[in-house]
Structure 1
Amino acid sequence: MNWDIIEGKWNQLKGSVKEKWGDLTDDELTQIGGKKDKLAGKLQEKYGWTKEEADDQLNSFFRDKL
């Protein structure tokens, strides 16, 4: 998966990300800026997931969006 594309479309994708993971705030989404490691870290923090779980969730979610 090409995260450069996700970073470039981040402002368009933020709404979908917030819909999927509603515990993330608008400020956090702005700070994440489409960076996979930052988003995975926030998901781990908010949902208590391992890094692998967060990566799997992200890959599954964004595979359908691109």
Structure 2
Amino acid sequence: MTNKMAEKTELKGNWNEQKGKLKKKFAILTDNDLLYEQGKKEEMLGKLQVKLGKTKEELVKIIESL
């Protein structure tokens, strides 16, 4: 499985649980920031990058470590 495929699985599979953990880790995040819609993952990650000051790679590592 390639890393891109793992990313998709990670975000889609357990997203509600991961969303809760992200909100605990980064109190400034809202449900709206973490709204994951099919086909809009890149848009959501872009918003998180801006809000948290992280690179896309850093965000993916954070999400994978939850």
Q: TM-score range by the shorter chain?
A: 0.5 to 0.7
1:5 aligns with 2:9: yes
Residue 56 of structure 1 corresponds to which residue in structure 2?
57
Identity %: 32
Residue 50 of structure 2 corresponds to which residue in structure 1?
45
TM-score normalised per structure 2: 0.60
**Structure 1: segments with no counterpart, 5+ residues:** none
Structure with larger RCO (C-alpha < 8 A, sep 6+): 2
CA distance in 2, matches of 1:19, 1:33: 21
TM-score normalised per structure 1: 0.60
1:22 aligns with 2:50: no
Secondary structure of the corresponding residue to residue 27 of structure 1: coil
Q: Deviations over 1:18-54 (max 9, x none)?
A: 122222211221x23485413321123313x3xxx42
Higher share of residues assigned helix: 1
Moved more, 19-28 or 5-14: 19-28
- 1:54–1:32 Cα change, 3 Å: farther
